[in-house]
Amino acid sequence: MSSATVKPAVLTTAPKTAARNRARWASSRTYISAVLIFIWCLLPFYWMVVTAFRDVGYTFDTTPWITHFTWDNFVTAFSTSLGNHFGQALLNSLFIGLVVTVIGLLFGVFAAYALARLNFRFKFLVLGFILGASMFPGVAIVTPLFQLFTNIGWIGSYQALIIPNISFVLPLTVYTLTSFFREMPWELEESARIDGCTQGQAFRKVIMPLAAPAVFTTAILAFISSWNEFLIASQMSNDQTQTVTVAIASFAGSQPHQEPYTAIMAAGTIVVIPLVIMVLIFQRKIVAGLTAGAVK
């Protein structure tokens, strides 16, 4: 009798134990994968920081932590005695990135809303052209743009850097926001219209606050795209308007044919800091916007 009562308990407990083991193993694999991806993505940045704080004489030291600590590399990055214009380039990139982001969002929000809400012929064809424009290789338009800007005297000007970047950012902005606006229910806008709002007021007071998470996310992508752009900036800029990517690529060493690796790493560390700060600030706004939308 005792054996007859024990066996069902064993049979009942075994599947539960196996299920728990499978769940633990699946969770462990997830965490292990996340840690490996994190290390893979963070390792180049970590080595850049280590090299940035290392003395020039120990540039190729393979010690995996900071040795022979110095601030001289950051001083060299901002020094103009070697022909580096890194400080001015930081301001140029910040100005160009902000202008491109604001203009791209200004036109992209209205275009995305129209494509999501309005029904007209060939709408999907327009979306296809926008998606195709976002995939168009920038190298294919460098020569025509250079010839055009040379003819109108724009080489070395800010507009020669801003306008091409806007053309790269707009398709990304429109396509991203169109998908978000398409998922928003019509009832929100109709309720605002019933309460007496015009279509513009409903868009401004109801749709845009709820679209804030998507707008902030798109702003991050647009700014990073403009901040990292190199190809157009390397051809259209001069010493006064060059961006950080061009300035770092043109760093010169103290000796002929010397590659200033430590100064380049220091400049790269400085360039990454604004992006990290911006992402952290906008991430808080995104979470706040998502929470507010859920409460409403």
**pLDDT digit string, tens, across residues 110-128:** 989 888 887 878 888 888 8
DSSP-H helix ranges across the chain: 2-52, 72-78, 86-117, 123-134, 142-151, 159-183, 186-194, 199-202, 208-228, 231-236, 244-249, 261-295
Closest CA to 222 of 97, 115, 43, 137: 97
Q: How far apart are CA 141 and CA 133, in angstroms?
A: 12
Closest CA to 96 of 174, 148, 157, 137: 157
Angle between helices 86-117 and 208-228 (to 10 degrees): 140
CA-CA distances (angstroms) from residue 194 to 189, 199, 257?
9, 11, 72
Q: Exposed, middle or buried, 5 (CB in 10 Å: 0-12/13-18/19+)?
A: exposed
Token output for 8 = 């069902």
Q: Contact at 8 Å (CB) between 177 and 214? A: yes
Distance from the Cα of residue 212 to its chain's centroid: 17
Average pLDDT of the chain is 82
CA-CA distances (angstroms) from residue 11 to 15, 20, 56, 147, 266?
7, 15, 68, 80, 63
The answer to pTM > 0.95 is no
Percent with pLDDT over 90 in the chain? 19
pLDDT (0 to 100) of residue 253: 63
User: Residue 1: is its pLDDT beyond 70?
Assistant: no
81-90, 125-134, 284-293: range with lowest mean pLDDT? 284-293
- The label of the residue with tokens 């491109």 reads 100
Count CB atoms within 10 A of the CB of residue 175.
19
Residue 289 CB partners (closer than 8 Å, separation 6+): 209, 210, 212, 213, 216
Give pLDDT tens digits for 130-173: 878 778 788 888 889 999 999 999 998 999 999 999 988 998 89
Q: Contact at 8 Å (CB) between 245 and 230? A: yes
Half-sphere exposure of 74 (CA within 13 A, CB side): 11
Measured over the CA atoms of residue 62, residue 63, residue 68 and residue 69, the dihedral's sign is positive
* Secondary structure in 3-state letters for 25-70: HHHHHHHHHHHHHHHHHHHHHHHHHHHHCECHHHCCCCCCCCCCEC
The SS3 assignment for 256 reads: coil
Q: How far apart are CA 202 and CA 196, in angstroms?
A: 9
pLDDT (0 to 100) of residue 159: 93
